[in-house]
Amino acid sequence: MTVRYGMVGGGPGAFIGAVHRMAAALDGEYSLVAGAFSSDPGKSEQSGKELGLAPERVYASYTNMAQAEGALPVGQRIQAVAIVTPNHLHFAVARAFLEQGIHVICDKPLTTTLEDAEALCRLVAERDLLFAVTHNYTGYPLVKEARERVRAGSLGTVRKVVVEYVQGWLSTLLEAQGQKQAEWRSDPERGGASAVLGDIGSHAHNLVRYVTGLEVQRLFADLGTVVEGRELDDDATVLLELDGGVRGLLIASQIATGERNHLRLRIYGSEGALDWSQEDPNRLRLVSPDGSEQILHRGAGQLSQAATAHTRLPSGHPEGFIEAFANLYRNVARAINTGATSGDFPTIADGTRGVHFIHAAVASHKAGAWVDASYAPPAS
């Protein structure tokens, strides 16, 4: 059954809103029927027209939208809302729709404060609703293959994890030129406690957890603001101690000149290693103790059921970012249609762990020391 959904944010000039809409549309399991696409009512109306929505379902504000949609009969109102606003609005928007009994799909990071994240956890549990956080890189088939192999013990005992997410788009003071995406991300009031960890470091942290199943117990973080005049950090190096004493390294940078969207995960075990890169996502490199290599290809016959279930095209026909994002949306739709509140997608608990990681890293940087990063979110 097609899931009726609405969107908050994603109006003119917004990148990620269009990505969410393409991902939701790919498998035909969603129908966009409502939205409050901008804080400017005129721009929201413009977006609604361009998307072919009924005028009465295009709202001037998210508060109007939540109240109006919540008042509609169950068979007509939206079942889920996609939140694609700047970070500081996530909490208030999510709370408004959860209070109306509407499922939530929210961009990362979940919130800018841990207090707000935990409040959403409790509200989700109280209302028995689904809440997904769009850490979309977990949707790649070969990330799922990596997870299956690590969890099955194919690498032996995990010893070392290295994850890096580096970009170069903020190598200059782009926010001073009025670039919208740079402007709000570098603003402490809208971006949160850390710009680089909130924007891309949270993805790297989630990817480690998803593939290995290990949680961060301690960390030592060095956060830097490299570009002069920037208000928040744009570069981070974080030493990690994971469950069982597994050593880890997380690098996140948005001032890595010339880099595009280089997210790479390497896991080293006692019996082998694996290596996956988001810019070449259809290949997974496996390494044996003697240094010999095996390359797995998306769509090939030797992959796990988890990987093949998230593959659309035959091997040799590349799948990428939108398809991975769509896998998350498809899994959420199927959970909604079966009445489940969890599945193979990041949940409110995952999002809350991500917020805790960001704040632990900021605390470590300020103290110049290792800090306890163990954490259990409220039951949700």
Residue at 306 is within a domain: yes
100: domain CATH number? 3.40.50.720
Contacts for 361-368 with beta carbons within 8 Å, 24 or more apart?
361/194, 361/197, 361/201, 361/219, 361/221, 361/223, 361/236, 361/238, 362/193, 362/194, 362/197, 362/221, 362/223, 364/219, 364/220, 364/221, 364/238, 365/221, 365/222, 365/223
- Within this chain, do residues 308 and 258 fall inside the same structural domain, yes or no? yes
- Within this chain, do residues 127 and 180 fall inside the same structural domain, yes or no? no
Final residue of a domain: which of 136, 167, 195? 136
- Within this chain, do residues 132 and 151 fall inside the same structural domain, yes or no? no
Closest CA to 27 of 323, 282, 298, 336: 323
Mean pLDDT by 10 residues, the chain (380 residues): 97 92 98 97 96 98 98 97 97 98 98 98 97 98 98 98 98 93 92 96 98 98 97 98 98 98 98 98 98 96 94 94 98 97 96 98 98 91
SS3 7: strand
* pLDDT the model gives residue 14: 85
358: domain CATH number? 3.30.360.10
Structural domain for 259, as ranges: 138-313+354-365
Contact 182, 175 (CB under 8 A): yes
- Model pTM score: 0.97
Residue at 299 is within a domain: yes
Final residue of a domain: which of 103, 136, 169? 136
| Overall domain count for the chain | 2
- Within this chain, do residues 171 and 275 fall inside the same structural domain, yes or no? yes
The secondary structure of the chain in percent helix, strand, coil, rounded to multiples of 5, reads: 40, 25, 35
Residue at 322 is within a domain: no
- Within this chain, do residues 305 and 205 fall inside the same structural domain, yes or no? yes
Residues whose CB falls within 8 Å of the CB of residue 305, separated by 6 or more in sequence, listed in order: none
